[in-house]
Structure 1
Amino acid sequence: MAIRYKVTERGTPGVKGGGSKKYYASATARKKIDLKQLSERLASISTVTEIDTIAVLQGLVHLLPEYLCNGNSISLGDFGTFTVHIKSEGKDTPEAVNATSIKDINVTFRPSVEFKKRMKAVDFKKHSLP
């Protein structure tokens, strides 16, 4: 397992003209793994069929938003937890804050300790330019 990265130059945020520039590692474009590929792999390492795996994953696509929109966090054990966060406009008084103050909704994923531990086992490979 290796995450490929490239080197990018970035200026100082909020400084006109970018300020002093530094170089950072940045993950390169990744191949997207779709539902079919994921279900095929899950089926190959378990006793569940590919069709059953697709059905379960599709079920999650339908159920997760339902539970999240009802104010729940969703814990998937050693995988992690999904939660909803909202962004709103700032108001001068608590009474002025209402549903129209809310401007955006985000779903976040917080990986479990086990998930994080497995991710730390990764190697890195510098992407060479063509």
Structure 2
Amino acid sequence: MAIKYKVTERSTPGVSGGGSKKYYASATARDKIDLKQLSERLASISTVSEIDTIAVLQGLVHLLPEYLCQGSSISLGDFGTFSVHIRSEGKETPEAVNAQSIKDIKVSFRPSVEFKKRMKGVAFKKHA
């Protein structure tokens, strides 16, 4: 199995007229795997039923945001860690920073060392 990529042209950010252009590889043609497909596959490689797998994954969908909103990072062992990051406007004084200064929230996933090891050695295929 290989990750498909395409070649994209990009300009230099912040340079008038775009500056010099370079070409970069960019992942493409991503298929989406839904909850049903994931649970079927998990059930096929374990002793857990498809229904039980769906129940656990749905439980994660409900619990992860709850814990993240409480300010927790969530470690899922050899899978990795979820955490929240926020983006805000810069203010002149610390007192001027408030909840209205926050413009965006992002959930980050940091894969574990084991997860990263499993991704090493992946093949790449240029998408025509």
Q: Bin the TM-score by the shorter chain.
A: over 0.9
> Structure 1: how far apart are the matches of 2:92 and 2:18?
33
Are 2:71 and 1:60 aligned?
Answer: no
**Which moves more between the two structures, 117-126 or 32-41?**
117-126
Identity score, percent: 88
Corresponding letter in the other structure for 1:122: V
**Which moves more between the two structures, 34-43 or 91-100?**
91-100
> Structure 2: how far apart are the matches of 1:21 and 1:100?
38
> Structure 1: how far apart are the matches of 2:34 and 2:126?
25
Corresponding letter in the other structure for 1:126: K
> Structure 2: how far apart are the matches of 1:20 and 1:95?
42
Shift of 1:29: 2.3
Corresponding letter in the other structure for 1:74: I
Are 2:71 and 1:71 aligned?
Answer: yes
> Structure 2: how far apart are the matches of 1:107 and 1:32?
19
SS at match of 1:29: coil
Match of 1:43 in 2: 43
> Structure 1: how far apart are the matches of 2:8 and 2:104?
30
| TM-score, normalised with respect to structure 2 | 0.97
> Structure 2: how far apart are the matches of 1:9 and 1:89?
31
SS at match of 1:92: coil
Where structure 1 has 5 or more consecutive residues not aligned to the other structure, the ranges are none
SS at match of 1:30: coil
Corresponding letter in the other structure for 2:120: K
| TM-score, normalised with respect to structure 1 | 0.95
Match of 1:110 in 2: 110
Give the length in aligned residue pairs: 128
1:74-85 correspondence runs (5 A)? 74-85=74-85
> Structure 2: how far apart are the matches of 1:17 and 1:51?
56
Where structure 2 has 5 or more consecutive residues not aligned to the other structure, the ranges are none
- What whole-Å deviation, never above 9, does each CA across 1:16-63 have from its counterpart, x for those lacking one? 222111111111120000000000000000000000000000000000
**What stretches of structure 1 move > 6 A for 4+ residues in a row?**
none
Shift of 1:15: 1.5
> Structure 2: how far apart are the matches of 1:29 and 1:10?
19
- What whole-Å deviation, never above 9, does each CA across 1:58-85 have from its counterpart, x for those lacking one? 0000000000000100000000000000
> Structure 2: how far apart are the matches of 1:22 and 1:121?
26
Are 2:27 and 1:27 aligned?
Answer: yes
